[in-house]
Amino acid sequence: MSKAKNKSPFDLTGQTALITGGGTGLGLGMARCFVAAGANVVLVGRREAELKKACEEIGRNAYALVGDITQLKSLPILAEQAEHMGGPVSILVNNAGVHLKRDAVETSDADFASVMQTHVSGAFALTREVGKRMLKRREGCILFTASMASFIGVPKVVAYSAAKSAYLGLVRSLATEWGPHGLRVNAIAPGWIASDMLDAALSNDPARKSKILSRTPMGHFGEPDDIGWAAVYLASSAAKFVNGVVLPVDGGAVQSF
């Protein structure tokens, strides 16, 4: 049997993943899993120190690229720099985001626009630039980090919910338009994932923690690698006929609301 036939369908050897917001949290978790599956990763973010620290943790095949996706005019150059560092980008993960918790009546136009600029305008503009290159090669995988807020009503996060819901439209439209040209576009909707930020938010609020866990049928928080391995699956040949879907990775939480 040939080596090609022995190759795992989850093997990403020879692939390059560009991950925005890749220096911490879910982005870092995805980066670790992509490298473990054989890919190169280019981590994009605004804070150089965090990116370098992440690359040191991951080891070889990880590259740090300082960039701000809200600066839309800079994104064609960013896409070019990423390919110069890690090779042709075959996987794009739109993961960069900001969170705003505020009553709707206290959310200003500037607040709302800032959240939409990062999540929607920035992600689309980068997808367009990377997508141009993928279309020429007639292959590629694009992932968006959606949210439980894409499906359910969450109070006090109206801008964030609007942005994450917009991802569903982007996924469906791009999957339909680009699918015939060899590209697949999907999303992952994480649930409550263990992190320093989540721990800080819940450490002094046992009632909220208990409520969250009671709404998670599996009874515990997820881990960043749970999102990472889901991303590896969607980017791999194991998912070669999966296009236009939003995959919840939440321990069943969305189903319990």
Q: What is the DSSP string of 172-228?
A: HHHHHHHGGGTEEEEEEEE--B--HHHHHHHTT-HHHHHHHHHTSTT-S-B-HHHHH
Query: Helices H, strands E: what count in the chain?
Result: 11, 7
φ, ψ at 34 (rounded to 5°): -60, -45
Q: Token pair of 8, please? A: 């795992």
Tell me which residues are annotated as active site. 160
What kind and span of H or E run contains 20?
strand 16-20
Segments making up each domain of the chain, as ranges: 11-248
Per-residue pLDDT of the chain (257 residues; tens, 9 = 90+): 445 567 899 999 999 999 999 999 999 999 999 999 999 999 999 999 999 999 999 988 999 999 999 999 999 999 999 999 999 999 999 999 888 889 999 999 999 999 999 999 999 999 999 999 999 999 999 999 999 989 999 889 999 999 999 999 999 999 999 999 999 999 999 999 988 767 776 778 888 889 889 989 999 999 999 999 999 999 999 999 999 999 999 999 988 87
Q: Which helix (H) or strand (E) holds 133?
A: helix 123-137
pTM of the model: 0.94
The Cα 162–Cα 115 span in angstroms is 9
Q: If one looks up domain 11-248 in CATH, what number appears?
A: 3.40.50.720
